[in-house]
Amino acid sequence: MFNESVSIWNYLKDTPKPIVIYGMGNGADKILAVMERRGITPAAFMASDEFVRGHSFRGFEVRKLGDIEAQFGDFIILVAFGTNLPAVVQKIYTLGNKYEVLAPDVPVYGDVHMGLFDEQFVESNAQKIAQVRGLFADEQSKKTFDALINYKISGKLNYLQETVSCRDAAIDLLCLKKNGSEIFFDFGAYDGDTVQEFIEITGGNFSKIYAFEPDFRNFCKLRRRHYLLEPDKLEAVNAAAADKDGAEDFNSAGGRQSALSPNVGKTKKVVTISADSFSEHRAIKPDYIKFDVEGGEKAALTGAAELLKKHKPKLAVSLYHRNEDLLDLPLLISGSNSKYKMYLRRHEYIPAWDINLYCV
């Protein structure tokens, strides 16, 4: 079930090989922060040849792979960026055929030092891990879960290659109807991409979509993207999903990274809405709810507890923004309604992003 017992961080601390960080930006900063705290020193930074222009990152010259090869010969590459672009994903896997390539798992949101999947995390959460594994309704989910735990501990790419599933097949698990009856709550609607997905799945034959997006620039894109829909078919709401109605600090990044995030970056107040209160005030019972709210999934699900308990809407929930989400969110949903059948799927991404829980 779980093959890996030594965390990537302890492995890197003990390896005699030079460690080369591949990539720059936020991901590299997070990986470097963990390495520094654990006394691990990188030997170099590299980027794809087309991005190397004599610049530096964190005091290191950013170099081409050929230059790294000429200096070190044998070394470890740490992938420090996220991608689902087929050509880039394939390039990373091809690198892994020649070199030792690892993709460290660090939280997308929250304190980088909290919740790392190291030996201590696995030991302290052993009971939860066993409980969550037992919730899944099929063997593919259990296989995916096992591979993800092994990956998160070790950073080894082979576990990611084992767990890729087709998004269309995963969505099929929800059995969304095409009879015009479906009501969709889309929390974290971004620019309307998952609204569009829902429209295509239902063949445009649905009752109504309520799309919630707190970032105002994304919210405007959402409205523009679907202006051709009949006004009574889509209602866009400029608000964030939360456990209660109110207002919270919001870090407006203008992309998918916009999130409820006090004291981080440039923040402003945004309206927060719970699914329970919105449903009650509008006298609406959604058939399907998607939660992809950039690290706020736990609060959003807490704010939907009554809906889950009384009406059991179909769910699609992101499980990758915080490491603890892989364990806490399935348990939270099961605690609200133990009758849910749960399916775990991961779509192509390096590192282990785009992990989704489908509940029916």
Question: 20 forms bridges with which residues in the sheet?
Answer: 44, 77
pLDDT in tens, 319-360: 999 989 999 999 999 999 999 999 999 999 999 999 999 999
DSSP class of 186: E
Q: Please choose, from the candidates 304, 237, 235, 305, the residue with its C-alpha nearest in 3D space to the C-alpha of residue 270.
A: 237
Burial (CB < 10 A; 0-12, 13-18, 19+), residue 2, is middle
Q: Read off the tokens for 200.
A: 């295509």
Mean residue pLDDT of the chain comes to 91
Residue ranges in 50-118 assigned as alpha helix (H): 65-72, 86-98
pLDDT in tens, 140-158: 999 999 999 999 999 999 9
Task: Say if CB 273 and CB 240 are below 8 A apart.
Answer: yes
pLDDT in tens, 90-115: 999 999 999 999 999 998 887 777 77
Q: Please choose, from the candidates 41, 66, 42, the residue with its C-alpha nearest in 3D space to the C-alpha of residue 52.
A: 66
What values do phi and psi take at 52, rounded to 5?
-90, 115
- Tokens 């302290």 belong to which residue? 124
Q: Please choose, from the candidates 62, 17, 26, the residue with its C-alpha nearest in 3D space to the C-alpha of residue 44.
A: 62
pTM: 0.92
pLDDT at 113: 72
pLDDT band per the 50, 70, 90 thresholds, residue 258: low
d(CA 274, CA 331): 19
What mean pLDDT is predicted for residues 303-314?
97
Task: Indicate the range of 53-67, 179-193, 330-344 predicted with least confidence.
Answer: 53-67
